[in-house]
Structure 1
Amino acid sequence: MVVLRTAAEIEAVRESGRVVATVLAAVAAAARPGVRLDELDVLAADLIAASGAKSSFLGYHPRWAPMPYPAVLCLSVDDAIVHGIPGRRALRAGDLLSIDCGAHIDGYHADAAVTVGVGQVDQAAQRLARTAAQALAAGIAAAMPGARLGDISHAVESTARAAGYGLPEGLGGHGVGTAMHEDPDVPNTGRPGRGLVLREGLVIAIEPMLVESGSDDSRTGADGWTVLTRDGSRAAHAEHTIAVTADGPVVLTVP
């Protein structure tokens, strides 16, 4: 069921979104060669707790997962598309790191992600991360009241395909509110003018996930959580939680 949020509820999501934005910025700045992924997760956990928020990810257990999620961040490196579990792996110069964070205050969630290079990264990695951010911006711009969900999906897909990138099947955005994942699903591929009519009060996460090789295939890793490119090519992930308002889309996961 799709729930339309009141102005007060949107402000509650925005409060959580500020925490998410702060965490993403701090973790991105700390993601240097030699730093372990689990150290970044501890940093994020401390920031979330200090803000008076709670993690949306820690302990989350969807039906398909073999265990509850054990961390507050998803940290996905190179060929990991999404849901990478932070372990003792140390980052290396040239790594492409996707940082995904969710937090809630008083039961209202926000969710966002960014992809950053670790140290000096090659131009292809820079282009991949930049295009993921551009696809996200295109999707957000399409989220106008009276438009359709397919308009968002088409904007994301058009940006990614024009650059030669793949979009993994079955992965995309979602509604956000009193649960981290709510209706509707927000696919990264679709036809304009189709699907749910976007109405004021709709709060969704738009999250392009791009594969460098152009493949749409993915696989689940041995941990049952991490989604990887099937051909081993690199991936990038960008995400914001937004609200559809009378004045257009408003990004809620900003400082």
Structure 2
Amino acid sequence: MTITQQDDLDGMQEIGRIVANTLQAMTKAVEPGMTTRELDEIGRALLERDGALSAPQSTYAFPGTTCISVNEEIAHGIPGDRRIAVGDLVNIDVSASKNGYFADTGATCRIGPQRPALDRLCRDGKRAMQIGIAQVGAGKPLAGIGRAIGRFASDRGYTLIRNLASHGVGRALHEYPEEIATWPANGDKRRISKGLVLTVEPFLSLGGLWATEGKDGWTLYSEPAAPVVQYEHTVVATDRGALVLTLPG
């Protein structure tokens, strides 16, 4: 989606706040002993309260309101009977629509004390997202996002999952540009147009390179197996840089 009028910006900011508030509430509520289905129910109730529709459900018939992925599950985890435990890494991805506008956000939570390496991974995962967002602006190269994130990851000894990309969003959950690398992709010559709405969502890892699909047809796992974190915002490109749409408020 390319925003050209105030009504579109207002619509995107509204759904952006809704998914951000939902994610914030879910991350605050998550605790040892609860099931991922119970956590998902919190998200469902909040989206319904605010008049929003789960995007994975409405777009892909996903069997949950939000995607909740624990430890070895790195994305698209189906909420169910799995109980969250101390030491888990829990990724929550919330995407929804309202009045025809879609926004997408996500974060990885640490449950209780973590090994120092995983604490650093979480901090640096959020920083990688911020570095990518700093490359968004009207006229800038789209590949600059992945180049900057790639330098950051390489300098700190991390890897990036290279088949889970950022994407355009706005009037659909996934739209043009459908694949925006969050790793170095020197062959991409596209430029960011003013008003373009996109996600920035690197998957930073301690050794993982690829996402592979599990037997349930949804859940994705790291190959080779390694801890992975993901943080995500929906942003719009302006002449002054990126305007983040998925902030709570």
Which of 120-129 and 244-253 deviates more? Answer: 120-129
SS at match of 2:243: strand
Deviation at 1:8, TM superposition (A): 2.3
Which of 146-155 and 3-12 deviates more? Answer: 3-12
Which of 161-170 and 173-182 deviates more? Answer: 161-170
* Residue ranges of structure 2 left out of the alignment (5+ in a row): none
Q: Deviations over 1:129-161 (max 9, x none)?
A: 111111100010000211110011111222222
- The two structures, once aligned, show a CA RMSD in angstroms of 1.5
Deviation at 1:10, TM superposition (A): 2.3
Moved over 4 A (4+): 191-194
Are 1:76 and 1:82, in contact at CA under 8 Å, matched by a contact in 2? yes
Hey, what's the Cα distance between the residues in 1 that align with 2:151 and 2:10? 31
- Tell me the residue number matched to 2:124: 131
- Tell me the residue number matched to 1:195: 189
SS at match of 1:250: strand
List aligned pairs for 1:211-250, cutoff 5 A: 211-213=205-207, 215-250=208-243
**Which of 84, 87, 90 in structure 1 is aligned with 2:80?**
87
- Tell me the residue number matched to 2:33: 34
- Tell me the residue number matched to 2:48: 49
List aligned pairs for 1:9-20, cutoff 5 A: 9-20=8-19
Are 2:12 and 2:245, in contact at CA under 8 Å, matched by a contact in 1? yes
One-letter amino acid of the counterpart of residue 43, structure 1: I
Hey, what's the Cα distance between the residues in 2 that align with 1:12 and 1:78? 34
Are 1:10 and 1:201, in contact at CA under 8 Å, matched by a contact in 2? no
Aligned residues: 246
Q: Deviations over 1:200-233 (max 9, x none)?
A: 11000111011222x3133211111111012322
Q: Deviations over 1:19-39 (max 9, x none)?
A: 111111111011111011000
One-letter amino acid of the counterpart of residue 199, structure 1: S
SS at match of 1:42: helix
Q: Deviations over 1:178-203 (max 9, x none)?
A: 10100102111125694211121100
One-letter amino acid of the counterpart of residue 15, structure 2: S
Deviation at 1:59, TM superposition (A): 4.0
SS at match of 2:3: coil
**Which of 145, 149, 160 in structure 2 is aligned with 1:152?**
145
* Residue ranges of structure 1 left out of the alignment (5+ in a row): 62-67
Structure 2 length as normaliser, TM-score? 0.94
Q: Deviations over 1:44-90 (max 9, x none)?
A: 000000011111111432xxxxxx31111111111222111111101
Identity %: 35
Are 2:209 and 2:224, in contact at CA under 8 Å, matched by a contact in 1? no
- Tell me the residue number matched to 1:210: 204
Hey, what's the Cα distance between the residues in 1 that align with 2:75 and 2:155? 22
